[in-house]
Amino acid sequence: MNTTQIETATFAAGCFWSVEEAFRQLDGVTQTSVGYMGGHFANPCHLDVLVLAWFV
């Protein structure tokens, strides 16, 4: 009997594009996704985060 358990892990990184590629190369990783989390408005883009960083 083949029982596969999929778990979710969340990682934070400064330059997440290269980190995502590193995770894609690992055995057992089935999916990756990048983005921003923990902010104060929905669906921020890179420019939103960049501009807001000047005011923090």
Catalytic residue list: 15
**How many C-alpha atoms does 55 have within 13 Å on its Cβ side?**
5
Q: Decide if 49 contacts 35 (C-beta within 8 A).
A: no
CA neighbor of 32 nearest in space, from 56, 11, 51: 11
